[in-house]
Amino acid sequence: MISYINTLYLIYGLLITLSYVVLALISARALYDYITLNKFVSYEALLSSSNAPPLSLIAPAYNEEKTIIENIRSLLSLHYNNLEIIIVNDGSKDQTFQKVLEAYSMKPVPFFLRTAVSCKPIRGIYKSTNPAYGKLLFVDKENGGKADALNAGINVSSFDIICCIDVDCIIEQDGLLKMVKPFMESKEPVIAVGGVVRIANSCEIEDGRLIKTHVPREIIPRFQVIEYLRAFLMGRMGWSRMNALLLISGALGMFDKKIAIAVGGYNHKTVGEDMELVVRMRRYMTENKKPYRVVYIPDPLCWTEAPSDYKILGRQRNRWMRGTMETLWAHRKIFFNPKYGILGWLSFPYWTFFEWMAPLVEATGLIYFLVLIGLGFDNWSLFILLSATVYFSSIAISFLALLFEELTYHQYQSKRETFLLVITAIIEPFLFHPRSAWWGVRGNIDKIRGQKSWGEMTRTGFVRPQKQ
């Protein structure tokens, strides 16, 4: 009996390793194609063309008084002509509302609201009296959570493509131009586009713009740099290539508004509203037998401040796990359902077995091993063999992600910083991964207990460049 359980754990470890290798290979090809072929793309035509699709950028804000002014200024400096920027104040309890009104000379306007998706009541809509901020629309509403705020933004938006972002992210100046391109170049309709999110801790930011990138000085965000590189450059690129991507990060995603409205907008009842919306949109298109694509682009378009203490990071990961569980459960019909094609046969099973179950398997594996020790059946040799297999393969995969970054975007330019990342990749499986698995397990426990909150996320703010 014990030997069979051992075999199961070993096979699971091997399968997960194999899946990473396959994804890495597919991503490598996708990245190569993207980089070589997009080297010659000029976005000038898009900037000047009257045929460039107009965009509505929606950024919900909740208790952002410390950074909201600078964040809006950063959004106003984005390179895109036909753009409206909608800031949704989701019933902030601090001075967010007052600060925006004062800083941007906002006045209430009589707005005829057409409710396409449900959201909490809107208290007022404001426009700036200063023509320099003509693109800006400020919505004040009752608190209802991020999904609800995004739905309010959808209701007031004027254009057919919406870009939903986290207000505290820094979007690259040409980020919107790059994200709009897939909507225009694909023969099949593109329903959603995602961009790579990078860690901005220790990077130099001035006037809401990224001046210089650095590897985070603190170890916790540095672990996340490795994690994000693996997830974005190696994972999502591969899924996108197979048109099997289930998740577009809530920090930056562009959507076809008509489809988003047709499926009812963001779901208020989940804490993983970003993944849930993409899955629902994909499901809608498949069920209505419409061809479509969900595209991911590897350019570093969005920079975000990662949690730098374990407590806040734990809350974030706990929420991500609950969001994953809620989405997988809500759309369980897709699971191994041939009607949904690659979604049913590959994406959904992968997320179920390797994203949701992986922390549980790791935790039960550890408990099982401890029980065996207690019963005098300890098997150190198998434990070491399995751990070594997973450890060395995970290091190889992290190094591959670092090489991908070096060959493509080369964001970290000093040799010292690259060395720091190499060392971080070596120690990450010991110092970070066990905690990450534990947060996943806690997410499962909290979900079973009925926990629905987001958990408070505090940020320390970005680094300013030193004055000469």
Partner 1 sequence: MGSTAIILQQRIPTWSDVWDLVHYTKFNLPGWASEPLLWICTSIIAISILFSVVLLIALYSYRFRTQYRLRRRRELEKSYLLLLTGIIFDEPEEGVEQSKAKLVRHFRNIYLDDSFNRKILRKQLLTLHRNFSGSACTILRNLYLELQLEKESLKKLKSPMVNKRIQAIRELSRMHVHAASDRIRKLTRHSNRLLRNEAQLAMLELDKENAFSFLDDNLQHLSEWDQMNLETTAHRTQGLVIPDFTKWFYEPNPSVVQFCIRMCVQNNQFEASDGLIKLLSSSEEKVVRQSIQALGELMIDDAVPSLISLYRKKQVAFGSDILKTLSKIGGDQVIRFLQNRYEEGNDQEAFEAASALKYTGEAGMMLLEKAGAHAANRSSLIAQHLLNPYLQP
Among 353, 354, 399, 454, binds partner 1 (CB under 8 A): 399
Q: Which stretch binds partner 1 (CB under 8 A): 31-39, 65-73, 197-205, 443-451?
A: 31-39
Minimum CB separation from partner 1 for residue 176, in Å?
15
DSSP designation for 232: I
Quick check: helix, strand or coil at residue 108?
strand
Minimum CB separation from partner 1 for residue 313, in Å?
26
Among 78, 86, 176, 402, binds partner 1 (CB under 8 A): 402
The smaller minimum CB distance to partner 1, of residues 399 and 438, is found at: 399
128 part of the interface to partner 1, by CB under 8 A? yes
DSSP designation for 43: -
C-alpha 55/C-alpha 79 separation (Å) is: 12
393 part of the interface to partner 1, by CB under 8 A? yes
Q: Which stretch binds partner 1 (CB under 8 A): 185-193, 286-294, 429-437, 440-448?
A: 185-193
260 part of the interface to partner 1, by CB under 8 A? no
Diameter of the chain by CA atoms? 77
The smaller minimum CB distance to partner 1, of residues 94 and 406, is found at: 406
- Alpha-helical segments (H) within 200-262: 219-229, 237-241, 257-262
The values of phi and psi at residue 286, to 5°, are -65, -45
Among 164, 259, 386, 437, binds partner 1 (CB under 8 A): 386
Among 103, 357, 385, 427, binds partner 1 (CB under 8 A): 385
DSSP designation for 51: T
127 part of the interface to partner 1, by CB under 8 A? yes
430 part of the interface to partner 1, by CB under 8 A? no
The closest alpha carbon to 264, from 118, 141, 58, 147, belongs to 118
101 part of the interface to partner 1, by CB under 8 A? no
**Between 141 and 160, how does the x/- string for binding to partner 1 read (CB under 8 A)?**
-----------------x--
Q: What angle do CA 130, 135, 137 make, to 5 degrees?
A: 85
Minimum CB separation from partner 1 for residue 182, in Å?
9
- Number of residues binding to partner 1, judged by CB under 8 A: 58
Q: Which stretch binds partner 1 (CB under 8 A): 42-50, 273-281, 304-312, 437-445?
A: 42-50
Residue 53 CB neighbours (<10 A)? 14
C-alpha 319/C-alpha 146 separation (Å) is: 13
Q: Which stretch binds partner 1 (CB under 8 A): 108-116, 286-294, 311-319, 362-370?
A: 108-116
376 part of the interface to partner 1, by CB under 8 A? no
Tokens of 365: 């594996």
C-alpha 422/C-alpha 72 separation (Å) is: 36
Quick check: helix, strand or coil at residue 250?
coil
Contact present, 141 and 120 (Cβ < 8 Å): yes
C-alpha 78/C-alpha 231 separation (Å) is: 26
Minimum CB separation from partner 1 for residue 143, in Å?
25
- b/e 14-23 (16+ beta carbons within 10 angstroms → b): eebbebbeeb
Contact present, 302 and 198 (Cβ < 8 Å): yes
Tokens of 374: 């207690």
Minimum CB separation from partner 1 for residue 386, in Å?
7
The smaller minimum CB distance to partner 1, of residues 56 and 267, is found at: 56
- What amino acid occupies position 304? T
Interface with partner 1 (CB under 8 A)? 2-4, 6-7, 10-11, 14, 17, 36-37, 39-40, 45-46, 48-49, 51-52, 107, 109-112, 114, 127-129, 134, 158, 181, 183-187, 377, 379, 381-382, 385-386, 388-389, 392-393, 395-396, 399-400, 402-403, 406-407, 410, 415, 418, 422
